[in-house]
């Protein structure tokens, strides 16, 4: 299908629109001629910044951790534009702390936004998309939600893994309804994800070489993040408008490198342990030798 196959005006509903990739995506969709519902906890500044787009944009308050607010925002979007063609769950944040010393309430609060916020907004919009028989749901994850293993942000990465699993199940459930799903997996972008949006809790000395090193690399590096939010937003708008977005979209060179390396290691490990894994079934030969340990 060509890139120009879907040139009709689409209605976007974007969470976390006040800054970062969400803000860039709102602008990119509007500049492409589409209609946008831009949501944020405090949308007042958004209304002023987007005034030039007139009635093509609707800025609404939305705390994604509230199911009632999610339903109210979706209802307001439908009342204004009549439909939602693209739902983007972008709102999210990460704080830094080792699991051992993490504040339980902070760990849970991150999960409330990063996973349950996606759940609430998606669930609120599903009836309208199902009735339409069409629509695209874009879930912002992270390359860390695919490869994992970043010390200090366990709540964030656990939520992103959960978003992926949730989305895969939802795609299977809604397959007859014409709804498409894309999980976006960026690497580092020039946003304030690791700036004002992130709280770094005290890192105990035993975790300095893991969590401390991660914090210094992400927040105190001098080169800055490689990803351009404007480019990412334009890529996503073009991809969604084409009508055949992939189930998972990596954004950023580092994301591609990390994902490919992770997949290769997964395949190598699964192959090495294949006979052992198969032998757990009644019908398979048993016992079998464990694979030799990797050479040093």
Residues with catalytic function: 141, 156, 160
Q: Is 82 left (phi over 0), alpha (psi -120 to 50) or beta?
A: left
The DSSP line for the chain is --TTS--S--EEEESSTTSHHHHHHHHHHHHTT-EEEEEESS-HHHHHHTGGGGGGEEEEE--TT-HHHHHHHHHHHHHHHS--SEEEE------B--TTT--HHHHHHHHIIIIIHHHHHHHHHHHHHHHHT-EEEEEE--THHHH---TT-HHHHHHHHHHHHHHHHHHHHTGGGTEEEEEEEE--BSSSTTTTT--B----GGGIIIIIHHHHHHHS-SS---B-HHHHHHHHHHHHHHT---SEEEESHHHHHHHHHHHHHHHHHHHHTHHHHHTTSTTS--S-PPPPPPP-
d(CA 79, CA 77): 5
d(CA 279, CA 285): 6
């Amino acid at each position: 299908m060509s890139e120009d196959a879907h040139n009709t005006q689409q209605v976007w509903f974007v969470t976390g629109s006040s800054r970062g990739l969400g803000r860039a995506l709102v602008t990119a969709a509007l500049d492409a001629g589409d209609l946008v519902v831009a949501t944020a906890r405090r949308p007042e500044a958004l209304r002023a910044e987007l005034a030039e787009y007139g009635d093509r944009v609707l800025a609404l308050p939305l705390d994604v951790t509230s199911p009632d607010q999610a339903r109210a925002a979706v209802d307001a979007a439908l009342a204004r534009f009549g439909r939602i063609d693209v739902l983007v769950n972008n709102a999210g944040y990460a704080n830094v702390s080792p699991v051992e010393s993490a504040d339980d309430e902070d760990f849970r609060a991150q999960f409330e936004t990063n996973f349950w916020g996606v759940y609430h907004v998606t669930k609120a919009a599903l009836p309208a998309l199902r009735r339409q028989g069409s629509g695209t749901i874009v879930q912002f994850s992270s390359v860390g939600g695919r490869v994992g293993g970043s010390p200090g942000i366990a709540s964030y990465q656990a939520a992103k893994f959960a978003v992926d699993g949730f989305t895969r199940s939802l795609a299977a459930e809604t397959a007859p309804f014409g709804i498409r799903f894309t999980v976006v997996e960026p690497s580092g972008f020039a946003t304030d994800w690791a700036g004002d949006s992130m709280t770094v809790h005290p890192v105990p000395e035993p975790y300095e070489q893991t969590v401390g090193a991660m914090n210094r690399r992400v927040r105190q590096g001098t080169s800055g993040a490689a990803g351009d939010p404007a480019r990412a937003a334009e890529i996503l708008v073009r991809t969604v408008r084409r009508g055949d977005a992939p189930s998972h979209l990596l954004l950023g060179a580092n994301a591609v490198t990390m994902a490919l390396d992770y997949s290769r290691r997964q395949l190598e490990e699964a192959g090495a342990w294949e006979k052992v894994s198969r032998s757990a079934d009644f019908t398979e030969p048993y016992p079998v030798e464990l694979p030799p340990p990797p050479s040093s």
